[in-house]
Structure 1
Amino acid sequence: MGRTNFNPIWCKIWKLSCPAKVKFFIWRTLHGTLPCRVTLANRHMKVSPLCPCCASGLEDTKHMLFQCQKAKEVWRRLGLDEIIAQACEVDRAEEAVLEFLLLMPDQDLSIMGFQNTREMIAITSWYLWWER
Structure 2
Amino acid sequence: MGRSIPNPIWCQIWKLACPAKVKFFIWRTLHGTLPCRVTLANRHMKVSPSCPTCSRGLEDTKHMLFLCSKAKEVWKRLGMDVIIDKVCEVDLAGEAILEYLLLLPDQDLSIMGYQNEREMIAISAWYLWWKR
- TM-score between the two structures when normalised by the length of structure 1: 0.95
User: Distance between the aligned counterparts of 2:102 and 2:82, measured in 1?
Assistant: 15
Alignment of 1:20-35 (within 5 A): 20-35=20-35
> Partner residue of 2:76?
76
| Shift in alpha-carbon separation, 1:84–1:43, aligned structure 2, 3 A | same
**SS state at 1:50 partner:** coil
Q: CA deviation at 1:2?
A: 4.2
Percent identity of paired positions between Structure 1 and Structure 2 = 80
For 1:6-65, what per-residue CA distance to the aligned partner results, in whole angstroms no more than 9, with x for missing partners?
A: 211000000111000000000000000000000000000000000011111100001000
* Residue matched to 2:6: 6
Distance 1:127 1:29 in 2: 13
3-state SS, counterpart of residue 59 of structure 2: coil
Q: Aligned residue pairs: how many?
A: 132
Cα root mean square deviation, aligned: 1.2
- Could you tell me how far apart the structure 2 residues matched to 1:60 and 1:83 are? 20
Specify every segment of 5 or more residues in structure 1 that has no aligned partner in the other structure, as ranges.
Answer: none
1:125 matched residue in structure 2: 125
Deviations 1:56-76 (A, max 9, x none): 110000100000001101111
Q: How does 1:42-81 map to 2 (within 5 A)?
A: 42-81=42-81
CA distance in 1, matches of 2:48, 2:15: 36
Q: 1:4 to 1:24 in 2, by over 3 A?
A: same
Long gaps (5+) in structure 2: none
